[in-house]
Structure formats: C-alpha cells, structure tokens
Amino acid sequence: QVQLVESGGGLVQAGGSLRLACAASGRTFSRYTIGWFRQAPGKEREFVAAISWTGANTYYADSMKGRFTISRDNPKKTVYLQINSLKLEDAAVYYCAAGSQYSSSPGDSQSEYNYWGQGTQVTVSS
C-alpha cells in the first residue's frame, strides 16, 4: 500500500510556472505507475500525465503535451509535475494517484489507479 500527499499548488499568474510534488510513504512506491489528474469546478476529473515505475516511460493527455512535464525521483519517493505557461483553464485541484505495479505502460484511465492523494489547489489569475 502507498499513501500520497500532493503539494506545490497555489496562486500563480497566467504565463507563470509551478512544480507540483507528490510525496509517497510506504516501501513499495518505486513499483508503481504514478499519474496526475485534475478536476476543475463543475467538470469531471481528467487525466494529465503518468509515468512508469522506472521513470523511463511517460504519457500525456494530448491537450497537456508541451507545457506539462512529469518526472520522478524514486529514492526521494516523489513524483513531480512541472507546469509551464499556465493558462486560466489550468486552474483545478490536481491529484496524484498510484496505479499498476511494475508496468512500463502508464495508462490514463482512473480505474487503473487505486491510491489517491487529497489534491492540491492550483489557481491561475489573469
């Protein structure tokens, strides 16, 4: 089992950058695919990006490619989501989640992810 805690959210001006962190507890963190999702007010939660257990493979939602970068540091038990050139529509609660173990193919379906953090709020001002 793994517990996840997100951090790094806050209020940022449009055009700015943020790096979100997903810190894990538990000895098995390095086995898991980790995904980032987000949910804006009044909208369904959507997939942002995912990274395989070794960090060798990443997968992004088409609309997120170019401005979002996912990475992981297994010794630190942390996965990061770098967001550049923030837009107003990026405002949401961002969640990280742990999915399959030992998978090289990170997925985008929420049903693949069993452990979720509580989320971190990203607010973007104009």
pLDDT band at 26 (very low <50, low <70, confident <90, very high): confident
Distance of CA 76 to the CA centre of its chain: 16
**Would you say how long the chain is, in residues?**
126
Task: List, for residues 33-67, the tens digit of each pLDDT value.
Answer: 999 999 999 999 999 999 999 999 999 999 999 99
With b for 16 or more beta-carbon neighbours within 10 A and e for fewer, the 41-73 pattern comes to: eeeebebbbbbbbeeeeebbbeebeeebbbebe
User: What percent of the chain stands above pLDDT 70?
Assistant: 100
Q: Is the pLDDT of residue 86 over 90?
A: yes
